[in-house]
């Protein structure tokens, strides 16, 4: 029997089957740390992942609002992501500090938390890292190198690298400033150069604000050192930074996971999420293309659109997001083949699966359909039973 035969993907089955174990782990972590634990994970599954998006803030806010109503004094994020929208870290921390101005905000990193995920971690009052935890640089990735009239990819820090090159070769002492400016404007789009420079400046301002938002921020000098390291000192955006290197760089508010006594619980909880999101099972189609809903079917018959690509979960409720084809967001009560977004046909009515797919729908769009599973009652930290509504 394939996954398609019983209507659920392997990930969706794991999401349902593992609910009680996940909630128990969230409760145990919360009781041990005296906190409300809020999971935020985005999928890095090869072939079918997702990213941190600004729309995630409103989902997270629902959980934080309930925590505020219960008088939350400490909130722990359980975070793993490969990054995404560079505006999210500051937006998230601004929301958290507005709702919980006196609460301690911690983050538990069970695995990798790159780019925007690192930006989120840096603004927390405590960063709990295990042996598998990895951070990364936080320099914003722009649409193209600043010297290219037609962008083809690159990061804002390329501008910093160019300026560093001038310093290293002492070009400023050998070339007149007007000569360098003339070269730049003749060999690049001046408007793009100005835009990248603004992003370059905003990078620093954003990270400094995140660091300053902490309950007990470091000194201005130490914040500057930490910001410069994660922005500029690591030259490859995808380079991993483990906890020893992070401490050496000035992340003095980092705690080793082993010191909390929760190593097994945290690692077990991450594995439950990995199973639900199929993080370590690459998605592969049996052949390119396909018709309608079948285009997301893997080698084992799995409809990958049924596997969550974002999970936000606490003892209050579970929110899962699913990717679909097309540019419209689809909402349904139940994920799966019956509730999957229908492809759009030539005449735009989306009526049949056999209709020809328009070219713009040949690739999956980064649009998410959110499903919510609230608990019947707002649970306390000591309750052991959890129920679905309806």
> Across residues 84-111, what is the average pLDDT?
96
Mean predicted confidence (pLDDT) in 79-95: 94
159 pLDDT tier (thresholds 50, 70, 90): low
The Cα angle at residue 286 between residues 280 and 288, in degrees rounded to 5: 105
Q: How confident is the model at residue 365 (pLDDT cuts 50, 70, 90)?
A: very low
Model confidence at 375: pLDDT above 70: no
| 93 CB-near residues (< 8 Å, 6+ apart) | 105, 120, 123, 210, 213
Burial class for 252, CB neighbours closer than 10 Å (0-12, 13-18, 19+): exposed
Amino acid 271: pLDDT? 97
Query: Over 60: is that where the pLDDT of 23 sits?
Result: yes
Contact indicator for 137, 231 with CB cutoff of 8 Å: yes
What is the pLDDT averaged over residues 183-191? 72
Residue 141: predicted pLDDT: 64
Res. 198 pLDDT band, cuts 50 70 90:
confident
| pLDDT of the residue at 293 | 45
Residue 274 near residue 177, CB atoms below 8 Å: no
pLDDT at 66: 96
Give the C-alpha separation, 142 to 203, whole Å. 11
Lowest mean pLDDT among 88-92, 123-127, 349-353: 349-353
The pLDDT assigned to 389 comes to 28
Structure tokens at 30: 């919360």
Query: What is the DSSP pairing of strand 254-256 with strand 126-129?
Result: parallel
Confidence at residue 145, expressed as pLDDT on a 0 to 100 scale: 45
Q: What is the pLDDT of residues 268-315, one digit of tens each?
A: 999 999 999 999 988 877 665 554 445 667 767 777 778 889 999 999
Average pLDDT over residues 57-77: 96
- What tokens were used for 283? 């998605």
More confident: 371 or 271:
271
Distance, CA of 117 to CA of 139 (rounded, Å): 12
Q: How far is CA 225 from CA 238, 255, 272, in A?
A: 20, 19, 37
**Which residues share a beta bridge with 37?**
76
Closest CA to 64 of 102, 30, 37, 91: 37
pLDDT band, very low/low/confident/very high, at 167 (cuts 50, 70, 90): low
Model confidence at 362: pLDDT above 70 = no
Q: At residue 255, what are phi and psi to the nearest 5 degrees?
A: -120, 135
Collapsed DSSP state (helix, strand, coil) of residue 141? coil
Q: Of all residues in the chain, what percent are helix, strand and coil, respectively (each to 5)?
A: 40, 15, 45
Average pLDDT, the chain: 77
Higher pLDDT, 46 or 26: 26
Q: Average pLDDT, stretch 359-378?
A: 49
Classify residue 138 by its DSSP letter: -
């Amino acid at each position: 029997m394939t996954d398609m035969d019983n209507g659920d993907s392997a990930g969706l089955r794991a999401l349902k089957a593992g609910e009680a174990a996940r909630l128990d782990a969230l409760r145990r972590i919360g009781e041990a740390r005296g906190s409300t634990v809020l999971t935020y994970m985005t999928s890095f599954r090869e072939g079918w992942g997702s990213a941190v998006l600004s729309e995630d803030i409103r989902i997270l806010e629902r959980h934080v609002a309930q925590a505020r109503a219960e008088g939350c004094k400490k909130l722990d994020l359980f975070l793993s992501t490969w990054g995404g929208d560079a505006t999210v870290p500051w937006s998230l921390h601004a929301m958290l500090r507005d709702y919980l101005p006196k609460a301690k905000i911690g983050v538990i990193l069970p695995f990798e938390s790159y780019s925007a995920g690192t930006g989120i971690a840096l603004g927390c009052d405590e960063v709990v890292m295990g042996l598998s935890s990895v951070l990364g640089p936080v320099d914003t990735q722009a649409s193209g190198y600043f010297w290219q009239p037609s962008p083809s990819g690159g990061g804002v820090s390329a501008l910093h690298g160019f300026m560093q090159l001038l310093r290293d070769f002492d070009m400023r002492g050998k070339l007149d400033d007007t000569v360098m400016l003339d070269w730049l404007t003749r060999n690049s789009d001046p408007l793009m150069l100005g835009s990248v420079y603004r992003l370059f400046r905003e990078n620093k301002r954003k990270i400094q604000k995140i660091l300053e938002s902490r309950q007990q921020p470091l000194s201005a000098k130490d914040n500057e050192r930490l910001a410069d390291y994660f922005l500029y000192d690591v030259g490859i955006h995808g380079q991993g930074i483990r906890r020893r290197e992070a401490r050496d760089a000035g992340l003095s508010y980092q705690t080793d996971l082993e010191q909390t006594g929760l190593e097994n619980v945290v690692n077990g909880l991450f594995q439950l999420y990995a199973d639900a999101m199929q993080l370590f099972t690459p998605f592969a189609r049996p052949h390119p293309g396909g018709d309608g809903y079948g285009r997301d079917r893997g080698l084992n018959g799995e409809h990958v659109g049924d596997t969550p690509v974002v999970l936000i979960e606490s003892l209050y409720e579970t929110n899962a997001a699913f990717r679909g084809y097309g540019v419209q967001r689809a909402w349904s009560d139940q994920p799966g083949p019956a509730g999957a977004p229908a492809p759009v046909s030539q005449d735009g009515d989306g009526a049949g699966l056999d209709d020809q797919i328009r070219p713009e729908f040949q690739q999956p769009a980064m649009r998410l359909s959110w499903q919510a599973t609230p608990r019947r009652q707002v649970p306390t930290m000591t309750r052991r039973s959890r129920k679905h509504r309806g």
